[in-house]
Amino acid sequence: MAFRVLSRKTLSLSKNGGLGYGNVRHLQTFSLPDLAYDYGALEPVISGEIMRLHHQKHHQTYVTNYNKALEQLDQALTKGDSSTIVKLQSAIKFNGGGHINHSIFWKNLTPVREEGGEPPKGSLGWAIDNQFGSVETLIQKINTEGAALQGSGWVWLALDKEQKKLSVETTANQDPLVTKGSGLVPLLGIDVWEHAYYLQYKNVRPDYLKNIWKVINWKYSGEVYEKECP
Ligand SMILES: [Fe+2]
């Protein structure tokens, strides 16, 4: 995940009583990751206009607000301001979650000419067949749960590292998958916020879900699966 580290020199009392710089603290902030493909490369499944807005405006806003909240947190920690520290938690969860989720989502997509939509192979393909019967059955389950999710959120194919099992999960708003369980690893996340599809699919979320599988990057999911579940 893209990030940068800002060094902050804090004033402190030196041993001889004078003011000096000490305790160099490092505040890690984040930046918008580049996409591995052009905005128009997922057409006709997802329009270039949606991809540009989604990446440059929506994801960028999560990054900006996440960094702002982290900087405020850093200041509140320096001051020992507990009420501000607690107050910032929701902004950190929402905007940090937005950054985490979208960073995964971009990797879950790839143009058709670069194997977009090619069914999962290797151990992930085997695990899906073993647990769900077929990839088609899994897709149906994800689409059903994604369409039924009320309001905005995400639908996931997760690996439960402790149980060594796959599961389909949903999260509300920008909650990242880890909020459903610390052992859950996101293999595939689909954004079902209206901003992900409305310009092209209007309010018909099921059509967006049906089509998105043509540009899903199963190869990436398979690599994560093999790394986390060797
Ligand atoms: Fe989004």
123: CA distance to ligand 1 center in Å? 29
Q: What is the pTM of this model?
A: 0.89
State the pLDDT confidence band at 230, using cuts at 50, 70 and 90. confident
138-151, pLDDT tens digit by residue?
999 999 999 999 99
35-45, pLDDT tens digit by residue?
999 999 999 99
76 lies in the same domain as 149: no
Q: Of 68, 104, 114, nearest to 88 (Cα)?
A: 68
CA atoms of 34 and 36, how far apart (whole Å):
7
CA atoms of 41 and 106, how far apart (whole Å):
12
19: CA distance to ligand 1 center in Å? 47
206: CA distance to ligand 1 center in Å? 16
Tell me if residue 44 falls in helix, strand or coil: coil
Q: For position 9, which CATH number holds?
A: 1.10.287.990
Q: What is the pLDDT at residue 139?
A: 98
Backbone phi and psi for residue 111, each to the nearest 5 degrees, phi listed first:
-60, 155
102: CA distance to ligand 1 center in Å? 6
Query: Which pair of tokens denotes residue 183?
Result: 């052992």
Mean pLDDT of 50-70: 98
Q: Which are the contacts of 18, defined by CB distance < 8 A and separation ≥ 6? A: none
Beta bridge partners of 172: 153
Which domain does 64 fall in, by range?
A: 3-110
Q: For position 135, which CATH number holds?
A: 3.55.40.20
135 lies in the same domain as 28: no
Query: Which pair of tokens denotes residue 142?
Result: 């994800």
96 lies in the same domain as 159: no
152: CA distance to ligand 1 center in Å? 9
| Residue 54, annotated as binding a ligand | yes
196: CA distance to ligand 1 center in Å? 5
125 lies in the same domain as 222: yes
Q: Which long-range contacts (CB under 8 A, 24 or more apart) does 144-148 make?
A: 145/170, 146/170, 146/190, 146/192, 146/205, 146/209, 147/192, 147/205, 147/206, 147/209
79: CA distance to ligand 1 center in Å? 34
158-201, pLDDT tens digit by residue?
999 999 999 999 999 999 999 999 999 999 999 999 999 999 99
Q: Is the pLDDT of residue 10 over 80?
A: no
| Residue 191, annotated as binding a ligand | yes
Query: Which pair of tokens denotes residue 83?
Result: 């009420």
Tell me if residue 196 falls in helix, strand or coil: helix
CA atoms of 55 and 52, how far apart (whole Å):
5
221: CA distance to ligand 1 center in Å? 19
| Residue 34, annotated as binding a ligand | no
139 lies in the same domain as 103: no
Q: Which are the contacts of 173, defined by CB distance < 8 A and separation ≥ 6? A: 94, 97, 151, 152, 153
- Of the residues 53, 88, 110, which one is the last residue of a structural domain? 110
Q: Which amino acid is at 199?
A: L
